Copies of this chain bind each other. A is one copy, B any other.
């Protein structure tokens, strides 16, 4: 017999409703107590008590008076966006990036450090980055959020494996907690990106949302019923390693023909290098001194200039991604899917290739009812996502029932 789920307590009800009131104020910018009561269906007395507590904590302030609805004009409440600052860190690229972020998701200060090392030395760089960020703000800190590629254990704060950084079973959460005496949350870069879009971006407020990050790596972040779905081993969304072509290129994961080997930036550059020679008319041959040196940047440049080989390569990659997204559609049936990451720079024609393949490879009625679009947080998505992870865990801002 499995253990029972935990009992429910009246304290949980209170905490939930406190978070609900904070969310109402957060979502609406400026709002009166009466309006909060109407929207939450809590009594005015309950709302006033909760608001008094939020005022005391400095999370909310009275910011003026709204239009009168007959009687006295009501006092408007607003979240104090600098009441707490958050440290958001993105370990996802060739450089470590971080920012001091306010409660609205504005980047108050940003920093980046080129990634010079691996292993222990890379860890020192993380410390250095967080030290430098903390020095930039005098506000109380809510904590530290980290987004990083690889497989992580969010509950225990452990990086199980981050190949690029040479980390294996690194207890990054407790190391940072011990050093900075702050709550620390970490999750996979694709997963936090989904939270970023759900809290601050194009997926704001969606109950079910899938965000697919397509850059050097490919992964999906999955929000179901308002909560990040990470799976039993925190590996949910690893669609970049669905092997779609057994005879395909070897993948860094050890299998062959994974989605990443045909749809990532590296795959696109490799494919362009392989084909350029046989297409002397292609602009690709004039953008790099040697076709063997072509990078994703030249492919994007040729694509923008209308080069047909660059287009062919990009759309092929889009179709491979489309197949992976068809599996997401078939498994999850979430009506909103957002694409983010550097490959989205191929824009509308690439997106159309993705969508056409989704339609070809999943049940028509499911594909038709799925809206696939670009996310809108750009290069800061992981920093904002790491901050969103912290916000949801500490303040319950994505609370759902």
Contact = CB atoms under 8 A, between A and B. Distances in A.
Nearest to A230: B333
B39 A20 contact: no
Nearest to A232: B335
A335 B233 contact: yes
A255 B364 CA distance: 8
A266 B363 CA distance: 19
A249 to B, nearest CB: 15
A3 B1 CA distance: 39
A235 interface: yes
A100 interface: no
Contacts of A10: 10, 13
A135 interface: no
A154 to B, nearest CB: 12
A401 B233 contact: no
A4 interface: yes
A235 B399 contact: no
A360 B242 CA distance: 9
A4 B23 contact: yes
A238 B41 CA distance: 38
Given A7-B40, A9-B13, A254-B364, A243 B333 contact: no
B12 A360 contact: no
Contact of A334 (B204, B226, B231): B231
A361 B331 CA distance: 16
A307 interface: no
A333 B255 contact: no
A328 B242 CA distance: 10
Given A16-B8, A233-B333, A238 B2 contact: no
Interface-centre pick from A23, A255, A363 (highest chain B CB count, 10 A) = A363
B42 A20 contact: no
A125 interface: no
A187 interface: no
Interface string A1-31: 1101111111011001100100110011000
Contacts of A9: 13
Of the four ranges (under 10, 10 to 19, 20 to 34, 35 or more), the interface on chain A belongs to: 35 or more
A191 B5 CA distance: 22
Interface-centre pick from A2, A160, A242 (highest chain B CB count, 10 A) = A242
A275 interface: no
Given A8-B17, A13-B13, A17-B7, A333 B231 contact: yes
Contact of A4 (B13, B39, B225, B236): B39
A8 B2 contact: no
A208 B235 CA distance: 13
Nearest to A220: B331
A242 B322 CA distance: 12
A253 interface: yes
Interface string A46-57: 000000000000
Contacts of A7: 16-17, 20, 40-42
A242 B326 contact: yes
B328 A5 contact: no
A189 to B, nearest CB: 15
Contacts of A360: 243, 246, 255
A234 interface: yes
Contacts of A293: none
A330 B238 contact: yes
A295 interface: no
8 contacts: A4-B40, A8-B16, A224-B224, A232-B333, A232-B335, A242-B327, A255-B361, A327-B327
